[in-house]
């Protein structure tokens, strides 16, 4: 079948390479490269999913979706699974698939969601670099039911470029996270050893001066204010140090999270199954995710109790933080990101992990974070 794309393969690959080199932000890069690919090939529509272990996936980029798929801020693309994702999770999507029927388009027709723009099928291309698999890219055109071998070969070449760029950005993000954690640790030590001690000394000096100046009301009032401000600054400083590096994390992430929960005014119960030394960066990541989850319990749950469960084996660790509070509908979380779930997922993905949020209105909320340990592989690999 004759080639139908608008430009030569060499020109297309050159344009894609230039686009990929312009950004170190994963979302911006994928959105830009998808738009560029559609522009140079003449295809009208495309979308990209990043995927981890089933059922974890993220609808991360799209261009010119028909109304039936773009309705409600792309809700049809963010819920449920589809044929192409299932093939990806089964490990059977290793090369471009010429035509794959789209369950989301079928659902749009079934539920009368609106105009499908003449789309019935799409080509699906896995995004990978070496043995690492990151997700899938779908492209489509109205009434198009066949892509030529040349078209598929070009899409595959582009997918390799995109996969390599995803790996590069994730490596950069991982290195930045490591450096950031090292800087947090240094800064927390400096704050504790210098500024916090000076505030403590200031409060003591003000208290001691008041004892000497009992008969000078105006000055005593000023010293009262100095002592009060010093105590308030100390409290804020302790909170900042907690944010940077939890005291007690060297005794384990559960111990640190229980202390942080107590600081927030929560009663935190825990249950741990298994014993295994955790890599420092995974322990730090679990702490950050747990910290965000406990903050959410404090802010949103309407309860002052939380439960931390951790299961550890030689190849896997999973931590769940749950409450029996207000709960919410997951669509509300997707639309507002109130619970910071996107940042949690991105943080976990840097070290081969995944995060899952479960919630029902009136039934509470749980956040689960899981990571493969040495020898266990990485999710999505």
What per-residue confidence (pLDDT) applies to 351?
85
Task: Over range 61-80, report the average pLDDT.
Answer: 92
Tens digit of pLDDT for each residue in 242-277?
555 555 566 688 988 998 899 899 999 999 998 777
What per-residue confidence (pLDDT) applies to 63?
96
- Residue pair 266/305 in contact by the 8 Å Cβ criterion: yes
Query: DSSP of 74-95, one letter per residue?
Result: HHHHHSS--HHHHHHHTT---S
What per-residue confidence (pLDDT) applies to 302?
92
What per-residue confidence (pLDDT) applies to 381?
39
Q: How far apart are CA 354 and CA 304, in angstroms?
A: 26
Q: How confident is the model at residue 155 (pLDDT cuts 50, 70, 90)?
A: very high
- Judged against a pLDDT cut of 60, whether residue 67 lies above it is answered with yes
What is the phi-psi region of residue 73: left when phi exceeds 0, alpha when psi lies from -120 to 50, beta otherwise? left
Q: How far apart are CA 356 and CA 141, in angstroms?
A: 34
What per-residue confidence (pLDDT) applies to 2?
40
- Judged against a pLDDT cut of 80, whether residue 210 lies above it is answered with no
Between residues 174 and 248, the one the model is more confident about: 174
- Judged against a pLDDT cut of 90, whether residue 306 lies above it is answered with yes
- Residue pair 84/124 in contact by the 8 Å Cβ criterion: yes
Tens digit of pLDDT for each residue in 335-371?
455 567 888 888 888 888 999 989 888 889 999 999 9
pTM of the model: 0.61
Q: How far apart are CA 359 and CA 322, in angstroms?
A: 9
Kindly give, in sequence order, each residue whose CB lies less than 8 Å from that of residue 284, ignoring residues fewer than 6 positions away: 181, 249
- Judged against a pLDDT cut of 80, whether residue 225 lies above it is answered with no
Task: Over range 145-169, report the average pLDDT.
Answer: 92
C-alpha distance from residue 235 to each of 133, 220, 230, 241, 364 (Å): 46, 23, 9, 10, 30
What per-residue confidence (pLDDT) applies to 25?
87
Q: Which residues of 141-173 are buried (b: 16+ CB within 10 A; e: fewer)?
A: beebeebeeebbebbeebbbbbbbbbbebbeeb
- Judged against a pLDDT cut of 70, whether residue 380 lies above it is answered with no
Task: Over range 199-227, report the average pLDDT.
Answer: 66
Task: Over range 18-34, report the average pLDDT.
Answer: 90
Task: Over range 226-230, report the average pLDDT.
Answer: 72
Residue whose pair of structure tokens reads 């969601």 in the numeric block: 113
Query: DSSP of 11-59, one letter per residue?
Result: HHHHHHHHHHTT---HHHHHHHHHHHHHHHH---EEEEEEE-STT-EEE
DSSP letter at 153 equals: H
Provide the mean pLDDT of the chain: 83
Q: How far apart are CA 89 and CA 315, in angstroms?
A: 20
Q: Which one of 3.40.50.2300, 3.40.50.970, 3.30.450.40, 3.30.310.50 gives the CATH number of domain 9-174?
A: 3.30.450.40
Q: How far apart are CA 249 and CA 278, in angstroms?
A: 12
Burial class (CB in 10 A: 0-12, 13-18, 19+), 122: buried
Q: How far apart are CA 166 and CA 358, in angstroms?
A: 28
Q: Tokens standing for 272?
A: 């741990």
Tens digit of pLDDT for each residue in 88-99?
999 999 999 887
DSSP letter at 5 equals: -
- Judged against a pLDDT cut of 60, whether residue 178 lies above it is answered with yes
Give Cα 142 distance to the centre of its chain.
Answer: 34
Query: DSSP of 299-349, one letter per residue?
Result: IIIS-SEEEEEEEE-SSEEEEEEEE-S----HHHHHHH-TT-HHHHHHHHH
Q: How confident is the model at residue 24 (pLDDT cuts 50, 70, 90)?
A: confident
DSSP letter at 244 equals: H
- Residue pair 290/349 in contact by the 8 Å Cβ criterion: no
Tens digit of pLDDT for each residue in 102-131?
899 999 999 999 999 999 889 999 999 988
What per-residue confidence (pLDDT) applies to 226?
76
Q: How confident is the model at residue 4 (pLDDT cuts 50, 70, 90)?
A: low
Domain 248-381 fold: Heat Shock Protein 90 (3.30.565)
Q: How far apart are CA 85 and CA 92, in angstroms?
A: 10
CA dihedral 183, 186, 190, 192 (to 10 degrees): 100
SS3 string of 94-150?
Answer: CCCEEEEECHHHHHHHHCCCCCCCCCCEEEEEEEEECCEEEEEEEEECCCCCCCCHH
What per-residue confidence (pLDDT) applies to 1?
34
Instruction: List for the chain the helix, strand, coil content (%; round to 5).
Output: 50, 20, 30
45 φ, ψ (degrees, to nearest 5) = -135, 140
SS3 category, 279: coil
Q: Tokens standing for 287?
A: 């702490």
- Judged against a pLDDT cut of 70, whether residue 235 lies above it is answered with no
Q: What percent of the chain has pLDDT over 90?
A: 42
- Judged against a pLDDT cut of 90, whether residue 181 lies above it is answered with no
What per-residue confidence (pLDDT) applies to 308?
96
Instruction: Delimit the domains of the chain by residue range.
Output: 9-174, 248-381
Between residues 216 and 154, the one the model is more confident about: 154
Q: What percent of the chain has pLDDT over 70?
A: 76
């Amino acid at each position: 079948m004759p080639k139908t794309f608008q430009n030569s393969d060499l020109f297309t690959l050159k344009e894609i390479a230039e686009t990929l080199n312009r950004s170190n932000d994963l979302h911006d890069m994928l959105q830009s490269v998808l738009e560029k690919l559609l522009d140079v090939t003449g295809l009208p529509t495309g979308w990209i999913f990043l995927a981890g272990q089933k059922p974890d996936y993220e609808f991360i980029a799209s261009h010119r979706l028909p109304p039936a798929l773009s309705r409600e801020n792309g809700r049809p693309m963010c819920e449920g699974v589809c044929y192409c994702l299932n093939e990806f999770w089964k490990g059977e999507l290793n090369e471009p698939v010429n035509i794959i029927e789209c369950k989301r388009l079928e659902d749009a027709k079934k539920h009368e969601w609106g105009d499908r723009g003449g789309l019935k099928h799409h080509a699906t291309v896995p995004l990978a670099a070496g043995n690492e698999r990151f997700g899938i890219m779908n492209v489509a055109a109205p009434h198009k039911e066949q892509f030529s071998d040349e078209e598929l070969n070009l899409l595959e070449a582009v997918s390799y470029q995109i996969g390599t760029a995803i790996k590069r950005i994730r490596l950069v993000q991982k290195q930045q996270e490591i450096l950031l954690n090292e800087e947090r640790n240094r800064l927390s030590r400096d704050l504790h050893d210098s500024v916090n001690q000076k505030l403590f000394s200031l409060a003591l000096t003000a208290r001691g001066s008041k004892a000497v100046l009992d008969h000078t009301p105006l000055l005593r009032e000023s010293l009262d204010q100095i002592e009060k401000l010093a105590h308030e600054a100390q409290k804020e400083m302790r909170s900042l140090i907690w944010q940077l590096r939890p005291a007690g994390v060297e005794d384990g992430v559960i111990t640190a999270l229980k202390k942080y929960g107590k600081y927030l005014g929560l009663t935190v119960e825990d249950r741990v199954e298994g014993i295994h030394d955790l890599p420092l960066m995974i322990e730090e990541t679990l702490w950050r995710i747990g910290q965000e989850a406990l903050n959410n319990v404090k802010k949103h749950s309407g309860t002052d109790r939380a439960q931390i469960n951790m299961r550890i084996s030689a190849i896997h660790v999973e931590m769940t933080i749950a409450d029996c509070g207000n709960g919410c509908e997951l669509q509300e979380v997707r639309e507002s990101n109130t619970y910071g779930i996107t940042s949690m997922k991105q943080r976990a993905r840097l070290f081969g992990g995944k995060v899952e949020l479960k919630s029902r209105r009136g039934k509470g909320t749980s956040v689960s974070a899981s990571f493969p340990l040495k020898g266990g592989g990485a999710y999505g690999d």
